[in-house]
Amino acid sequence: MGIVEAGRDGLGARRSGRATRRRRRGRIALYVIAALFVIFTVVPFEIAIVSALKEDGGLYQYGLSPFWFTYQPTFEHVSFLFTDTPFVRFCLNTLLVGALTVAITLALALPAAYSLARLRLRFGGPLAVAIFLVYLVPPSLLFISMSQVVAFLGLQNTLWSMVVVYPTITTPVAVWLLLGFFKAIPIDIEEQAMVDGYSRGQAFLRVVLPLAYPGIVAVVIFAFTLAAGDFIYALAFVSSSDAKTVSIGIPTELVRGDVYFWQSLLASIVIVALPIAFVFNLFLHRFIAGFTGGAVKG
């Protein structure tokens, strides 16, 4: 018996050792992949920052390293971005259009998603699918008809043209996303709130919305990034520099004929991308929870 037990202990130890080595190799492989991914994502930003601070000779001279400075760095091209272009105006316009798009999207999507989730409409399911299918229509097929709508409303060459159009893109996705969250919230919670004296509207505002917070954060991030990054509609609707957003203003103002202001272009990329990346990472877990929760529970 002692020999058998010793054999079993030895076999168990060997299996445990193999499992430990497999876990160690898997962990090392994971770290290597993560390191490669970090390098792949960070290096372009490092090159952009270095190139934005280079003199013309350091940028255009063949054979010089793109990863560091050969000559003395300069802030001349960054200064040019702020003093000789409407870059600040572009950023303010982007913030305004994004904020209004988010507000309109939430104002439309929250009651629509709640109605589809709670009011047991006869055609609620097919209607939800139809709403989402609207988002699948490519914007390149719609901007001509949207231009006619904008012209009919008299909003050509204004920020309001984008504020009117962007919610038509963001609202269907927002409704579909929030629908999954509202369905996942037990209706007993609302009924208990109404027993305690709340109206349906009060129960919605004070009970349901806090529970759907991850989905709301996901909608906010999605709507704002779409409004800030759109190019086709902004190019079609706006031609005045005072009404341009970053996505259309930077390429049109810093590419003049065959002259490319590369350093200023790269500086604008870094200045715009870093704050967005910082804010996005602050809410990253909420954003992921919003999309995965809405997709699974819906």
Its pTM stands at: 0.77
Domain ranges in the chain are 2-74, 81-297
Query: Cα angle at 184 between 212 and 296, to 5 degrees?
Result: 100
Note whether 122 and 185 are within 8 A (CB): no
Region of poorest pLDDT, from 61-70, 90-99, 198-207, 226-235: 61-70
Q: Using 50, 70 and 90 to split pLDDT, how confident is the model at 98?
A: very high
Say what the pLDDT of residue 212 is: 82
Residue 71 has pLDDT above 80, yes or no: no
Burial of 52 (0-12, 13-18, 19+ CB in 10 A): buried
Tell me which H or E stretch contains 61. Answer: none
User: Looking at the domain that runs over 81-297, which CATH code has it been given?
Assistant: 1.10.3720.10
